Amino acid sequence: MLAYQHAYHAGNFADVHKHLTLFALTQHLLRKESPITYVDTHAGRGLYPLGAPETRKLQEYRQGVAPLWLARERLQRGSALLDAWLAALGEAQQSSSELSHYPGSPWWLARALRAQDHLQMFELHPGEHAELERQQLPGNASHTFGDGLAGLLKRLPVSTPRLCVLIDPSYERKSEYLEVADALLETARKARHAMVMVWYPLLPAARHQEMLDALRAAGLRKLWRSELVRHAPGASRHGMYGSGLLLLNPPWGLDAALGEALDTALPLLGESARHRGEWWVEE
Protein backbone atom coordinates (compact mmCIF):
# COMPACT_ATOMS: atom_id res chain seq x y z
CA MET A 1 0.00 0.00 0.00
CA LEU A 2 1.56 3.27 -1.10
CA ALA A 3 1.18 6.15 1.31
CA TYR A 4 3.42 8.81 -0.24
CA GLN A 5 1.74 11.65 -2.11
CA HIS A 6 3.94 14.24 -3.71
CA ALA A 7 1.31 16.97 -3.32
CA TYR A 8 2.43 17.34 0.32
CA HIS A 9 5.93 18.30 -0.84
CA ALA A 10 5.35 19.96 -4.22
CA GLY A 11 7.74 22.79 -5.00
CA ASN A 12 10.12 22.16 -2.09
CA PHE A 13 13.89 22.65 -2.35
CA ALA A 14 14.36 19.07 -3.60
CA ASP A 15 11.86 19.66 -6.42
CA VAL A 16 13.74 22.82 -7.39
CA HIS A 17 17.02 20.88 -7.47
CA LYS A 18 15.52 17.97 -9.43
CA HIS A 19 13.45 19.90 -11.94
CA LEU A 20 16.10 22.53 -12.60
CA THR A 21 18.51 19.69 -13.44
CA LEU A 22 15.88 17.88 -15.51
CA PHE A 23 15.22 21.10 -17.40
CA ALA A 24 18.96 21.50 -18.06
CA LEU A 25 19.06 17.95 -19.43
CA THR A 26 16.14 18.52 -21.79
CA GLN A 27 17.62 21.82 -22.98
CA HIS A 28 20.79 19.99 -23.86
CA LEU A 29 18.94 17.15 -25.63
CA LEU A 30 16.87 19.58 -27.69
CA ARG A 31 20.01 20.91 -29.39
CA LYS A 32 19.88 17.95 -31.79
CA GLU A 33 17.02 16.89 -34.07
CA SER A 34 17.25 13.14 -33.53
CA PRO A 35 14.24 11.64 -31.71
CA ILE A 36 14.23 11.08 -27.96
CA THR A 37 12.29 8.68 -25.77
CA TYR A 38 11.75 10.00 -22.26
CA VAL A 39 10.74 7.63 -19.48
CA ASP A 40 9.46 8.90 -16.14
CA THR A 41 9.35 5.81 -13.91
CA HIS A 42 7.66 7.45 -10.89
CA ALA A 43 5.60 10.19 -12.43
CA GLY A 44 3.24 11.61 -9.80
CA ARG A 45 0.98 14.35 -11.19
CA GLY A 46 1.43 16.86 -13.99
CA LEU A 47 0.54 19.97 -12.01
CA TYR A 48 0.14 20.68 -8.31
CA PRO A 49 -2.14 23.59 -7.36
CA LEU A 50 -0.38 25.25 -4.43
CA GLY A 51 -3.77 26.00 -2.89
CA ALA A 52 -4.69 22.29 -2.59
CA PRO A 53 -5.28 21.16 1.02
CA GLU A 54 -2.36 18.64 0.89
CA THR A 55 0.13 21.25 -0.33
CA ARG A 56 -1.16 23.92 2.06
CA LYS A 57 -0.64 21.58 4.99
CA LEU A 58 3.18 21.67 4.96
CA GLN A 59 3.69 24.55 2.51
CA GLU A 60 7.18 23.28 1.70
CA TYR A 61 7.17 25.39 -1.46
CA ARG A 62 7.64 28.43 0.77
CA GLN A 63 11.24 27.30 1.39
CA GLY A 64 11.65 26.09 -2.19
CA VAL A 65 10.24 27.53 -5.36
CA ALA A 66 8.37 30.50 -3.83
CA PRO A 67 11.39 32.66 -2.85
CA LEU A 68 12.93 32.09 -6.29
CA TRP A 69 9.70 33.04 -8.02
CA LEU A 70 9.35 36.20 -5.94
CA ALA A 71 12.97 37.21 -6.67
CA ARG A 72 12.85 36.25 -10.37
CA GLU A 73 13.33 39.79 -11.68
CA ARG A 74 16.19 40.53 -9.32
CA LEU A 75 17.86 37.20 -10.16
CA GLN A 76 17.87 37.85 -13.89
CA ARG A 77 21.23 37.48 -15.61
CA GLY A 78 22.70 35.60 -12.62
CA SER A 79 22.34 32.34 -14.52
CA ALA A 80 20.91 31.72 -18.02
CA LEU A 81 19.69 28.29 -16.88
CA LEU A 82 17.86 29.61 -13.83
CA ASP A 83 16.32 32.48 -15.87
CA ALA A 84 15.06 30.02 -18.50
CA TRP A 85 13.72 27.65 -15.83
CA LEU A 86 11.82 30.44 -14.06
CA ALA A 87 10.42 31.65 -17.40
CA ALA A 88 9.22 28.08 -18.14
CA LEU A 89 7.70 27.89 -14.66
CA GLY A 90 5.68 30.97 -15.59
CA GLU A 91 3.98 28.95 -18.36
CA ALA A 92 2.37 26.75 -15.69
CA GLN A 93 0.74 29.73 -13.94
CA GLN A 94 -2.74 31.10 -14.47
CA SER A 95 -1.55 34.70 -14.28
CA SER A 96 1.89 36.15 -14.98
CA SER A 97 2.26 37.55 -11.46
CA GLU A 98 1.01 34.87 -9.06
CA LEU A 99 2.62 31.51 -8.35
CA SER A 100 -0.48 29.28 -8.25
CA HIS A 101 0.84 25.93 -9.50
CA TYR A 102 3.99 23.89 -9.31
CA PRO A 103 4.62 21.49 -12.20
CA GLY A 104 5.74 17.90 -11.62
CA SER A 105 8.17 15.94 -13.76
CA PRO A 106 5.46 14.85 -16.29
CA TRP A 107 4.83 18.53 -17.07
CA TRP A 108 8.53 19.39 -17.38
CA LEU A 109 9.12 16.46 -19.72
CA ALA A 110 5.92 16.93 -21.76
CA ARG A 111 6.89 20.57 -22.25
CA ALA A 112 10.11 19.45 -23.98
CA LEU A 113 8.37 17.06 -26.42
CA ARG A 114 8.67 17.67 -30.15
CA ALA A 115 6.75 15.76 -32.84
CA GLN A 116 9.55 13.16 -33.11
CA ASP A 117 9.81 12.50 -29.35
CA HIS A 118 7.79 10.35 -26.97
CA LEU A 119 7.23 10.35 -23.22
CA GLN A 120 6.29 7.20 -21.31
CA MET A 121 5.24 7.63 -17.68
CA PHE A 122 4.54 5.09 -14.95
CA GLU A 123 2.62 5.59 -11.73
CA LEU A 124 1.60 2.92 -9.21
CA HIS A 125 -0.66 4.88 -6.84
CA PRO A 126 -4.25 4.58 -8.14
CA GLY A 127 -5.22 8.11 -7.03
CA GLU A 128 -2.05 9.69 -8.43
CA HIS A 129 -2.44 7.79 -11.68
CA ALA A 130 -6.07 8.89 -12.01
CA GLU A 131 -4.99 12.48 -11.48
CA LEU A 132 -2.21 12.17 -14.06
CA GLU A 133 -4.75 10.79 -16.52
CA ARG A 134 -7.25 13.54 -15.76
CA GLN A 135 -4.70 16.32 -16.24
CA GLN A 136 -3.96 15.34 -19.88
CA LEU A 137 -0.49 16.53 -20.80
CA PRO A 138 0.16 17.94 -24.26
CA GLY A 139 2.22 16.13 -26.90
CA ASN A 140 3.08 12.53 -27.53
CA ALA A 141 2.85 11.32 -23.94
CA SER A 142 1.44 8.10 -22.55
CA HIS A 143 1.05 6.76 -19.05
CA THR A 144 0.78 3.31 -17.57
CA PHE A 145 -0.64 2.29 -14.22
CA GLY A 146 2.10 -0.03 -12.99
CA ASP A 147 5.57 -0.47 -11.56
CA GLY A 148 8.00 2.01 -13.09
CA LEU A 149 11.28 0.10 -12.89
CA ALA A 150 9.77 -3.10 -14.34
CA GLY A 151 8.01 -1.03 -17.02
CA LEU A 152 11.24 0.72 -17.98
CA LEU A 153 13.22 -2.49 -18.33
CA LYS A 154 10.46 -4.11 -20.38
CA ARG A 155 10.64 -1.28 -22.90
CA LEU A 156 14.40 -1.45 -23.47
CA PRO A 157 16.00 -1.00 -25.88
CA VAL A 158 13.85 1.82 -27.29
CA SER A 159 13.41 2.51 -31.00
CA THR A 160 14.67 6.13 -30.86
CA PRO A 161 18.40 6.92 -31.05
CA ARG A 162 18.28 8.74 -27.70
CA LEU A 163 16.83 7.85 -24.31
CA CYS A 164 16.45 10.01 -21.22
CA VAL A 165 15.12 8.43 -18.01
CA LEU A 166 14.04 9.96 -14.72
CA ILE A 167 13.94 7.57 -11.75
CA ASP A 168 12.36 9.36 -8.82
CA PRO A 169 10.94 6.88 -6.29
CA SER A 170 9.44 7.75 -2.93
CA TYR A 171 11.78 5.22 -1.19
CA GLU A 172 8.96 4.04 1.08
CA ARG A 173 10.62 0.63 1.14
CA LYS A 174 14.29 0.34 2.22
CA SER A 175 14.92 -2.13 -0.58
CA GLU A 176 14.15 0.51 -3.20
CA TYR A 177 17.70 1.91 -3.11
CA LEU A 178 19.18 -1.36 -4.32
CA GLU A 179 16.31 -1.98 -6.73
CA VAL A 180 17.12 1.37 -8.32
CA ALA A 181 20.81 0.40 -8.56
CA ASP A 182 19.87 -2.86 -10.29
CA ALA A 183 17.53 -1.08 -12.70
CA LEU A 184 20.21 1.48 -13.54
CA LEU A 185 22.76 -1.26 -14.25
CA GLU A 186 20.30 -3.09 -16.48
CA THR A 187 19.37 0.11 -18.30
CA ALA A 188 23.04 0.87 -18.96
CA ARG A 189 23.50 -2.67 -20.25
CA LYS A 190 20.53 -2.53 -22.64
CA ALA A 191 20.89 1.14 -23.68
CA ARG A 192 24.53 2.08 -23.33
CA HIS A 193 24.15 5.77 -24.15
CA ALA A 194 21.02 6.40 -22.08
CA MET A 195 21.04 9.51 -19.96
CA VAL A 196 19.54 8.56 -16.63
CA MET A 197 18.82 10.78 -13.67
CA VAL A 198 18.10 9.21 -10.28
CA TRP A 199 16.85 11.32 -7.40
CA TYR A 200 17.57 10.26 -3.79
CA PRO A 201 16.91 11.88 -0.42
CA LEU A 202 19.72 12.75 1.97
CA LEU A 203 18.47 11.40 5.29
CA PRO A 204 20.32 10.75 8.55
CA ALA A 205 20.12 6.97 7.91
CA ALA A 206 22.15 7.56 4.69
CA ARG A 207 20.65 4.59 2.85
CA HIS A 208 21.44 6.23 -0.49
CA GLN A 209 25.07 5.31 0.18
CA GLU A 210 24.25 1.61 -0.38
CA MET A 211 22.96 2.47 -3.82
CA LEU A 212 25.99 4.59 -4.72
CA ASP A 213 28.41 1.95 -3.43
CA ALA A 214 26.63 -0.86 -5.30
CA LEU A 215 26.90 1.05 -8.58
CA ARG A 216 30.58 1.76 -8.11
CA ALA A 217 31.25 -1.85 -7.11
CA ALA A 218 29.43 -3.09 -10.23
CA GLY A 219 31.82 -1.08 -12.41
CA LEU A 220 29.33 1.35 -13.91
CA ARG A 221 31.17 4.40 -15.27
CA LYS A 222 30.34 8.02 -16.08
CA LEU A 223 28.25 8.66 -12.98
CA TRP A 224 28.07 12.23 -11.78
CA ARG A 225 26.33 13.36 -8.61
CA SER A 226 24.89 16.61 -7.47
CA GLU A 227 23.94 17.09 -3.83
CA LEU A 228 22.10 20.06 -2.41
CA VAL A 229 22.45 20.13 1.35
CA ARG A 230 19.99 22.40 3.05
CA HIS A 231 21.21 22.09 6.63
CA ALA A 232 23.64 19.97 8.65
CA PRO A 233 22.64 16.27 8.82
CA GLY A 234 22.39 16.39 12.61
CA ALA A 235 20.11 19.44 12.69
CA SER A 236 17.01 17.26 12.44
CA ARG A 237 17.04 13.62 13.53
CA HIS A 238 14.41 12.38 11.09
CA GLY A 239 14.08 14.98 8.39
CA MET A 240 15.47 15.12 4.90
CA TYR A 241 18.47 17.43 5.10
CA GLY A 242 19.31 17.40 1.42
CA SER A 243 18.54 16.28 -2.09
CA GLY A 244 20.75 14.09 -4.24
CA LEU A 245 20.89 13.39 -7.95
CA LEU A 246 22.90 10.78 -9.72
CA LEU A 247 23.37 11.19 -13.45
CA LEU A 248 24.51 8.49 -15.79
CA ASN A 249 26.13 9.92 -18.95
CA PRO A 250 25.58 13.58 -18.05
CA PRO A 251 25.92 16.04 -20.93
CA TRP A 252 29.08 18.06 -21.20
CA GLY A 253 28.69 21.46 -19.52
CA LEU A 254 25.84 20.44 -17.21
CA ASP A 255 28.02 20.73 -14.09
CA ALA A 256 29.02 24.33 -14.87
CA ALA A 257 25.49 25.47 -15.84
CA LEU A 258 23.90 23.81 -12.81
CA GLY A 259 26.62 25.08 -10.48
CA GLU A 260 26.03 28.66 -11.66
CA ALA A 261 22.23 28.30 -11.34
CA LEU A 262 22.45 26.85 -7.85
CA ASP A 263 25.01 29.43 -6.71
CA THR A 264 22.44 32.06 -7.68
CA ALA A 265 19.54 30.19 -6.08
CA LEU A 266 21.14 28.88 -2.87
CA PRO A 267 20.98 32.06 -0.78
CA LEU A 268 17.20 31.93 -1.26
CA LEU A 269 16.90 28.25 -0.35
CA GLY A 270 18.34 28.51 3.16
CA GLU A 271 21.10 30.28 5.06
CA SER A 272 23.35 27.25 5.19
CA ALA A 273 22.34 25.68 1.87
CA ARG A 274 25.31 24.24 -0.05
CA HIS A 275 25.79 22.40 -3.32
CA ARG A 276 28.45 20.05 -4.54
CA GLY A 277 28.73 18.47 -7.95
CA GLU A 278 31.37 15.82 -8.61
CA TRP A 279 32.04 12.54 -10.38
CA TRP A 280 31.02 9.51 -8.37
CA VAL A 281 32.65 7.30 -10.99
CA GLU A 282 34.53 8.95 -13.82
CA GLU A 283 34.55 7.87 -17.45
Catalytic residues, which ones? Answer: 168
Q: Is residue 105 a contact point for ligand SAM (CB under 6 A)?
A: yes
Among 69, 122, 177, 224, binds ligand SAM (CB under 6 A): 122
DSSP the chain: -----GGGTTTSHHHHHHHHHHHHHHHHHTTS-S-EEEEESS---SEEETTSHHHHHH-GGGGTHHHHHHTHHHHTTS-HHHHHHHHHHHTTSSSSS---EEE-HHHHHHHH--TT-EEEEEE--HHHHHHHHHH--SSSEEEEES-HHHHHHHTPSPSSSEEEEEE-----STTHHHHHHHHHHHHHHHSTT-EEEEEEEE-TT-THHHHHHHHHHTT---EEEEEEE-S-GGGSSSS--EEEEEEESPPTTHHHHHHHHHHHHHHHH-TT-EEEEEEEE--
9 has binding-site annotation: no
**CB neighbour class for 184 (10 Å; exposed up to 12, middle 13-18, buried from 19):** buried
The reply, when asked if residue 238 is annotated as ligand binding, is: no
Q: Which residues contact 18 (CB under 8 A, 6 or more apart)?
A: 105, 168, 197, 199, 243, 245
Whether the CB-CB separation of 170 and 139 falls below 8 Å is answered with no
- In angstroms, what is the minimal distance from the CB of 260 to ligand SAM? 22
CB of 74 to ligand SAM, least distance (A): 27
Please, which residue, 48 or 224, has the CB nearer to ligand SAM? 48
Among 23, 89, 113, 125, binds ligand SAM (CB under 6 A): 125
Q: Does 101 bind ligand SAM (CB under 6 A)?
A: no
Q: In the set 4, 72, 185, 270, which binds ligand SAM (CB under 6 A)?
A: 4
Q: Is 42 labelled a binding residue?
A: yes
* Residue 186 assigned as binding residue: no
Binding piece for ligand SAM, criterion CB under 6 A, among 37-45, 93-101, 212-220, 250-258: 37-45
Q: Is 128 in the site for ligand SAM (CB under 6 A)?
A: yes
Start-to-end CA span in the chain (Å): 39
Whose Cβ is closer to ligand SAM: residue 88's or residue 278's?
Answer: 88
Closest separation in Å from C-beta 42 to ligand SAM? 3
Q: Is 83 annotated as a binding residue?
A: no
Is residue 44 near ligand SAM by the rule CB under 6 A? yes
208 in a known ligand binding site: no
Residue 170 sits in the site that holds ligand SAM (CB under 6 A): yes
How many residues touch ligand SAM under the rule CB under 6 A: the total is 19
Q: Is 146 marked as a binding-site residue?
A: no
Residues numbered 11 to 30 that lie near ligand SAM (CB under 6 A) are 18
Distance in Å, CB of 257 to ligand SAM, minimum: 20
Q: Does 168 bind ligand SAM (CB under 6 A)?
A: yes
Q: Which residues bind ligand SAM (CB under 6 A)?
A: 2, 4, 6, 18, 42-44, 104-105, 122-125, 128, 147-148, 168-170
**Residue ranges for the binding site?**
19, 42, 105, 123, 147-148, 168
